[in-house]
Amino acid sequence: MRKRALLVTLGLAVTAGLAATTQAGATAAAGDVLTTGGPGGTAVAVGDVLNATLPAGTQARIATTSGGSTGITCNTSAFTATVTGNPAAPGTATESATAHTLSSCTTNIIGATGVQSITVNNLPFATAVVSGGALTVTAGATGPIQTTLKINTILGVTTCVYRAASLTATPSNTDNSLTFTNQQFTKFSGPGTCPANGYFSAKYGPVRDTSQAGSPAVFVN
């Protein structure tokens, strides 16, 4: 009886050890939230700079209604962010969005003859990327998420300022992209000719770690 009890105890200990090893292996395989080389690959280092532009043939849009066809279309857009935290997956990686540009823009808003400039204000913004979830952009220490549009009209240049409480994008490891869809901005200031809202949609990718040799694509785990 004593020998059998001892064998059972040893069996339980081995089983527990195997379970612990398997769990540790799974954690190691998952890697950090942000990796390069593939899912569960090399961890992106804190301080690395990430960059992405619009894929060829795509555009960034600011529509006056959600999913609408009236608004502003930009052929060139890019963002830059610095990684501030990259814990083991599952977890939440953090970034500081330091630049976001939109240019080569046209408009079909009634009364507008062109787009002089679009400026993203109050950078940097805070960014959080959740394992298996979304990327969320929120205001940083310098102020709210804000964009200033200077639109040419037959009466001169009209300045419209828009703000958003937060922005959400969907990451994809298929093409290492981030997609914003109908993210609402509300007019903060400007004349009545400025639309009441702007709905931002754009796909950026591939997101690359430009601090590393070859600028490898970034995966979200």
Quick one: tokens of 91? 């977890």
CB atoms within 10 A of CB 64: 19
* pLDDT tens per residue, range 35-59: 999 999 999 999 999 999 999 999 9
Measured distance CA(153)–CA(78) in Å, rounded: 26
Quick one: tokens of 72? 């502003």
pLDDT at residue 80, as a whole number: 98
In one letter, which amino acid is 141? A
Beta carbons within 8 Å of 19's beta carbon, 6+ residues apart: none
pLDDT at residue 30, as a whole number: 52
C-alpha torsion sign, points 109, 111, 117, 122: negative
* pLDDT tens per residue, range 90-117: 999 999 999 999 999 999 999 999 999 9
Measured distance CA(98)–CA(82) in Å, rounded: 7
Beta bridge partners of 33: none
Domain ranges of the chain: 31-220
- Region 133-161: what's the mean pLDDT? 96
